[in-house]
Amino acid sequence: MEYRQLGRSGLTVSALGLGCNNFGMRIDQEQSSAVVQRALDSGITFFDTAQMYGKGTSERYLGAALGKRRHEVVVATKFGAPIADGPDRATGSRRNVIRECEDSLRRLDTDYIDLYYQHYPDSRTPIEETLTALDDLVRQGKVRYIASSNVAGWQIADAEHLASNLGTERFVGTQVEWSLLKRAAETEIVPACRRFGMGVVPYFPLASGLLTGKYSSGTPFPAGSRLETVPSLAADATAENFATIDRLDAVAKDRGHSILELAICWLLAQDEVSSVLTGATSPEQVAQNVAASAWRLEPEAIAAVAEVLG
């Protein structure tokens, strides 16, 4: 396993991180613990969860699975999931930031969070209020580093300049959807992170399974697969995307690799990427993803991918 710094910070993370969004949603505590154990045995030290995953169940399962090994790893969680109703929807407010942090610490059964993300921007709360609340949590020792998620490039720049002016902790990274099929992050988000020395943590690197090789054009989705069970994700199973997938698959096979390996390792080849998050519902999937991350793309392979993507 390769280890990298998160942007220009001193936080070291495994190049492959374990996304824990399946915990409590698709797998139970016993299965989650087995997945975490295989990840630990494989050298994964970066575990990513959130308050909204399973309404807190993911955090509980992860905390129980790590047990006494919690201090060997980097635990990332998130606050600020959108609130659909209720009198107080200001998820970035000082009140909510502190409340959600205390709740996450309790569920994770830990006294500190290594990396605390603002899950989504909050238009109701000035970002300076959120930053000062997070700065207080860092000073109290409850949080080590802070980061953003699902933001625009201008919001990255805004938070960076405000943190500098206020003298608060700054966001050291951002989490964003990025894959060979979803490349919107490359327009503004990745350049902003490059400018401000922030690490990029891509999620959905396999495009909800389209880049695993188990789907093909004109054939039904496998029973129980993500695209079969979540209709909204099937919108990306277009003829155009399948044509791109076929060309990428050829690039990988010509070099003795799979499209899954190409999808993960192409992201790892991007200078701004600190860690790529992959989910798993079984220890076998963890092992598969770890093995897939071992390929170091040659310049010629990167050029071949660029030609396909245009």
Confidence of residue 47 (pLDDT cuts 50, 70, 90): very high
Strand ranges, E, within 96-209: 113-118, 143-149, 171-177, 199-203
Mean pLDDT of the region 193-210: 96
According to CATH, the superfamily of the domain at 3-208+270-296 is NADP-dependent oxidoreductase domain (3.20.20.100)
Does the pTM surpass 0.85? The reply is yes
pLDDT at 222: 73
Average pLDDT over all residues of the chain: 94
Q: At what angle do helices 259-268 and 239-253 cross, to 10 degrees?
A: 90
- Res 88 pLDDT > 90: no
> What DSSP element (H or E) covers 284?
helix 283-292
What one-character DSSP code corresponds to residue 269? T
Active centre residues (catalytic): 53
| CA atoms of 2 and 131, how far apart (whole Å) | 31
Distance, CA of 206 to CA of 224 (rounded, Å): 17
Mean pLDDT, residues 210-220 taken together? 80
- More reliable by pLDDT, 45 or 310: 45
pLDDT at 80: 96
Would you list the domain boundaries of the chain?
3-208+270-296
Instruction: For helices 189-196 and 153-166, give the axis angle rounded to 10 degrees.
Output: 30
**Distance separating the N- and C-terminal Cα atoms of the chain:** 31
Q: Within a 13 Å sphere around the CA of 296, how many CA atoms are in the beta-carbon half?
A: 4
